[in-house]
Every structure is written in C-alpha cells, then in structure tokens.
Chains A and B, each alone.
Chain A
C-alpha cells in the first residue's frame, strides 16, 4: 500500500501563477485534509473533506480552493500564487475507526517568487 501520496514534491512558482497540488490515498478513509506548515506555527488546516463530494474551510482557506472528486483524491489549487503561500503543504487522511489517527503524505515544498 502506498498510503498517502502527494505530487509534486517540489515546485517553484512566480507570483500570479496557478497550480494544483495533488493528493491520493489508498487507505479507504473518508476524511482528507490539507495543511500548510510554516516555521514556528505548526500545521494549520487549510481545507478538509469529510467525505466524497463535501469540503469545508479550515483555519487559513484564503487564496486556496479544493476538489474532492472521489474518495481517493483531494486536490488543492492556488489560483493566483502569492509569496505568502510559500510553505510546505501536507495532505492527510483520518481513520475514524482508529481514534481519529491521521496519516500524512510526504509533503510538497512550494516556493513563490
């Protein structure tokens, strides 16, 4: 099992460019999450999806959109990238049958110039 996979691993964008971060899981979990990690701030929730076809805002949703097209995949889109979105992005799933343990992807390191 691959677990949670993310693409790409690294990306450099110019201000104003758009891109989509992809996340896929083979764990059959209903819930999926997007976080960003910045130094000294821990992980902050951008968006989450409790099930296929549903999405909700987290703590820092501005500048992002998400799509949960099926149970396996949850994508994060930056429509017009800004330097403040330079961060490491993690996708995660949550196992409701195991006390809400989360499983994380390897991360995407994004730099916006």
Chain B
C-alpha cells in the first residue's frame, strides 16, 4: 500500500519568516518523493525530488526537503518566505508499477 499525508491543509506565515510544510508517507517500495507547487489557476510545477542520492534535497526558489526514513517524512522548508511563494503545495510519492499518489495539498498564505 502507498499513501501520503500532508499534515496541514493551510499554513500562514509572515513574509521573511521560515516556511515548514509537513508530509508523511508510506510505501512498500523504496519510493521517489516529490514536491509540486501550483499557483492559482495554473498547472503543477516540480519544486524538488528525492531519488535516494542524498537525503537533503534542494529545489527551485530556495526550497529544500529532507528525507527521513525513520520518520517516513519528507517535509518542505524555506528559510524566508516571499510573497510569490503563496500557492498550493503537493507532496507526491511514486513507487512500484505506475503508482503515483498525491497528498491533498497545503495552501500557503504569506502575509505582508
């Protein structure tokens, strides 16, 4: 079985403060893990991906995620939020034949 849990449906931060979006997963395989971002009325864009090469993954726009196998987590972080980071973020796990599972998404609000 494979599943993804995004622990917060909404996160609100002030501009310039750190961002933490939480994701836990389960998979019977050694999974690939992804974070995608979706700005309003737009398609999905890849932020970063974990592929077992390194546990700390750097993505675009200053985002990072750390793969913690013992905690089955893949939380997304950014040291300083920018107004343009306001969007919806999806954690995705891919493992096994054709299995791709999306989390329900976390909406990030950035307050000026």
Contacts and interface: CB of A to CB of B under 8 A. Distances in A.
Interface of A: 31, 33, 35, 40-45, 48, 50, 56, 90, 94, 99-107
Classify the secondary structure of B's interface with A: strand
A100 B49 CA distance: 10
Given A100-B32, A101-B46, A40 B9 contact: yes
B34 interface: yes
A41 B104 contact: yes
25 contacts: A31-B98, A33-B100, A40-B9, A42-B104, A43-B44, A43-B90, A43-B102, A44-B102, A48-B98, A50-B98, A56-B98, A90-B43, A90-B44, A94-B94, A94-B98, A94-B100, A100-B100, A102-B44, A102-B46, A102-B92, A102-B94, A104-B43, A104-B44, A104-B45, A106-B43
Interface residue range, chain B: 20 to 34
Contact of A107 (B34, B43, B49, B51): B43
B104 to A, nearest CB: 4
